[in-house]
Structure 1
């Protein structure tokens, strides 16, 4: 089956594996980690003309980078803490993201309801300064609101004692989709990327310098020894593990902090405006943000001592979110209202003194060069991924490992770049690629079948994700390509059988693969629910083959 699809010629795992097998010379750079930071570094290096390979232990953005609050922001909280440099940097990068990926990033209105006059003045002045710091990348102007205006913008807000409010504007995006589009952009620039290819050890030369990696393909079990001029450790909360490969028993560089989000039906906060609670009883910031026609509520900030690709929300975190949101909403959400709950781990630079407060742990990114020349980049946040990448590649150049070449990513359009479409059209998130999905449906009308009665997603999207977006598992599709697991875990479980059938046909797998995929996904998805799962409908009839 032949389609005129732009991705199909270069963004395929099989082709990337062949290139790794056939590339005998040393790569200019190997990047370990396929989250926001690693993808940014790989894209920066490839776009400068360096021969670049990225290796990810699971799927792209499987960890922290798909579990954010979906905000592209300067960080109002960091301004309040006096971290002016970080806010300036993030606001600049926010502007570049809106410029380079308008199909994924949009301007979002936020409203802070004030129940005391003092708060209105305090937040009004602070957010006006926040606007001015953005300079020419400033979004819409901050304004003070009357209590009546707040009630109109947030129809479900608690009105008793409401004095007024502040409206400001920040960025919102789909994190996992941006990660995938960065991977595709990297491939367009000549980069090679492999998911499900963990690095198991580092290779060193006779002088003790890192000279490559040993990696294992989880699908075939085959191991590869891959030479490189420089290796970058961009593994987020897992940086300590790679540092241990380089020099055992060294102090940890990062400490994880867990952030939890719950997802509710959009009826809890009608309209398009987000609610921002600037100071919860324990000093946190909480957001209630419209996202893909649902409400994302979070986040928490809980220091942890262990890493995991699938962290679990703590009961006290869930209770905190529901109770705090309930203080501001007319209709108080309960556990039975939660459609999905997910947790992510932030890689925060470890403090030099004993502390259990994440407020004392840096959000700024850190670069570390080991005596072996292993480069580690950690900390930071999604909004500043591009600057983190630029600094990392510049560091490799400064070490004399790579030749001087300028960074070009400030003006590089992200794959799928297209003028913003109406957000009511769900295929708009694919940007320019949406026309190819529509063409697939036109040629094979059966692929225009919706996967679930509560969602507009089509069977064609599963085929597209498998063929052109390197999705290898049911989880890859439902969690990170279409985001259903993060929006409504029950709906994702309902969709899973049909997704498995479509993927099996596309990948050439049999029934045993389908059964194993379903077993794995159902076990995973159950962790996103607070109540036991019972199928909402019978499994759908398998689609007829769409292939010639």
Structure 2
């Protein structure tokens, strides 16, 4: 997967049926769907795949327990259906996860029991196992470090967890497997109009600066939190639709919750639930819901968010976590449907829709706002359905419902590479770790560069491997070794290698929680 070969194919294609802007969950889902239908498909990403929101989620594929209380049964049912599809199509990346809710009030026991019974009912034949009431002893057995004072019992139910950035890389592979083209570091600078209609884009190679004028029968705007800016390239008067929200997460060592069960805290002051999830040998805490009026490429958890997560978790754990226990702290921006940042009422976004909105402009730009990872496939199906008449494309049915994604191993496994593992281990350095605290090997770095379009230390340590999100200090220390392998593979000189290392180490500092 050499970049020059990808760019050569871009140069040699006079016009694409479908051009997707944005390499996050939604854009990749659109590109897989379009390519699977046989349309010539191009996806352009300004930075790296899943650079933003799509690598910074709560790592759950779920129906959304809290949406039941809001009466959004359709959203829950659809998400539970998509959960089942993902478990079947990507069993190397999506796995069943048991959750336990500790109960300290009888009223909560009653209400949660009713709600989770409804959750089971909505899942129907796709249920991963019925929810059940637990005694206090069973709850402690499932959550050994949960606070016992006043504990009445608990409720256990099933959902699913996943590796978000690795799913994005798998979708990129799947686009290519299906004959499409997906390229990172190729930002769109303008929309091209012909006869008053969107007819393609102008873009440039973020590495060489080469300019591309690209023709397409239909253009899909899947820019996530930046979708409004792309809509305004099409129509300067287009009103903002998004009310971005920030979700922060903290990562702790496993001894804070030494179990394979996840903890759900059902009541928090901001109206959300808080999760403590076993993930890659650590515990992931989150998430918050904080309105943002700006759109930073590298959002940071706010001090108040860090304190909120630590204080809330500390009320439920026998050993309250402190700032110096945090291995990594990160935040992601959510593209919630609202009336723009200025339209958030009362400073809160917890009640805004997690559903998605598809619009076609007068000039034929197909834009999508909102959505979440769990329903990415369904979103892609609906967006391509909307794009077909806009581009005058031959109507073809969606085929992604039963489409095994790249690397599908046939049966569930915990290896994110799936069927690609033999190819990874055939590369030099399969047994050499880059850092004692990380599982990353030299062979996996080489595979990321050769086969997964990794172009920087950050691409490797943040999204091809999750080191930055698991243990920011160890990732920072591993940066020089990764930069040396990049230099070897991409022909970087000493100055470029040093710049790669320093840029990542500066980024990693932002994932370290201030003491």
* TM-score bucket (shorter structure): over 0.9
Instruction: Classify the secondary structure of the residue corresponding to 2:350.
Output: helix
Question: Superposed, which structure 2 residues align to 1:209-228 within 5 Å?
Answer: 209-228=197-216
Which ranges of structure 2 fall in alignment gaps of 5 or more residues? Answer: none
Instruction: Classify the secondary structure of the residue corresponding to 1:162.
Output: coil
Which residue in the other structure is 1:438 paired with?
425
- Deviations 1:169-224 (Å, cap 9, x if unpaired)? 1010000000000010010101111100000000000x210000000101001110
CA distance, structure 2, for counterparts of residue 421 and residue 74 of structure 1: 21
Question: Superposed, which structure 2 residues align to 1:366-515 within 5 Å?
Answer: 366-399=357-390, 401-420=392-411, 423=414, 428-440=415-427, 444=428, 446-515=429-498
Which residue in the other structure is 1:315 paired with?
303
TM-score by length of 1: 0.92
Which residue in the other structure is 2:499 paired with?
516
| 1:420, distance to aligned residue in structure 2 (A) | 4.8
CA distance, structure 2, for counterparts of residue 531 and residue 453 of structure 1: 24
1:114 aligns to 2:103 (yes or no) = yes
1:12 aligns to 2:2 (yes or no) = yes
TM-score by length of 2: 0.97
* Equivalent pair of 2:271/2:350 in contact (CA under 8 Å): no
Instruction: Classify the secondary structure of the residue corresponding to 2:417.
Output: helix
CA distance, structure 2, for counterparts of residue 305 and residue 75 of structure 1: 26
| 1:357, distance to aligned residue in structure 2 (A) | 2.3
| 1:447, distance to aligned residue in structure 2 (A) | 4.4
| 1:351, distance to aligned residue in structure 2 (A) | 3.6
Which ranges of structure 1 fall in alignment gaps of 5 or more residues? Answer: 1-10, 533-548
CA distance, structure 2, for counterparts of residue 531 and residue 200 of structure 1: 37
CA distance, structure 2, for counterparts of residue 31 and residue 421 of structure 1: 31
The two structures, once aligned, show a CA RMSD in angstroms of: 1.3
Question: Superposed, which structure 2 residues align to 1:281-320 within 5 Å?
Answer: 281-320=269-308
Q: Count residues with an aligned counterpart.
A: 512
| 1:398, distance to aligned residue in structure 2 (A) | 3.6
* Equivalent pair of 2:338/2:344 in contact (CA under 8 Å): no
Q: Which runs of 4+ in 1 moved over 3 A?
A: 351-354, 419-423
* Equivalent pair of 1:351/1:360 in contact (CA under 8 Å): no
Instruction: Classify the secondary structure of the residue corresponding to 1:528.
Output: coil
Question: Superposed, which structure 2 residues align to 1:9-88 within 5 Å?
Answer: 11-24=1-14, 26-88=15-77
* Equivalent pair of 2:243/2:344 in contact (CA under 8 Å): no
* Equivalent pair of 1:351/1:361 in contact (CA under 8 Å): no
CA distance, structure 1, for counterparts of residue 282 and residue 105 of structure 2: 30
CA distance, structure 2, for counterparts of residue 229 and residue 326 of structure 1: 54
Which residue in the other structure is 1:543 paired with?
none
1:333 aligns to 2:316 (yes or no) = no
- Deviations 1:4-61 (Å, cap 9, x if unpaired)? xxxxxxx43222100111112x210110000000000011001100001000000000
CA distance, structure 2, for counterparts of residue 298 and residue 170 of structure 1: 16
* Equivalent pair of 2:25/2:54 in contact (CA under 8 Å): yes
CA distance, structure 2, for counterparts of residue 419 and residue 392 of structure 1: 29
Distance 1:75 1:217, change over 3 A: same
- Deviations 1:370-398 (Å, cap 9, x if unpaired)? 00000001101100000100001100124
Question: Superposed, which structure 2 residues align to 1:91-130 within 5 Å?
Answer: 91-130=80-119
1:141 aligns to 2:124 (yes or no) = no
CA distance, structure 2, for counterparts of residue 397 and residue 232 of structure 1: 11
Which residue in the other structure is 1:545 paired with?
none
| 1:506, distance to aligned residue in structure 2 (A) | 1.0
Instruction: Classify the secondary structure of the residue corresponding to 2:439.
Output: strand
* Equivalent pair of 1:289/1:296 in contact (CA under 8 Å): yes
CA distance, structure 2, for counterparts of residue 12 and residue 99 of structure 1: 31
Distance 1:422 1:227, change over 3 A: closer
| 1:421, distance to aligned residue in structure 2 (A) | 5.8
CA distance, structure 2, for counterparts of residue 99 and residue 44 of structure 1: 17
CA distance, structure 2, for counterparts of residue 457 and residue 419 of structure 1: 24
Distance 1:365 1:422, change over 3 A: closer
CA distance, structure 1, for counterparts of residue 445 and residue 237 of structure 2: 44
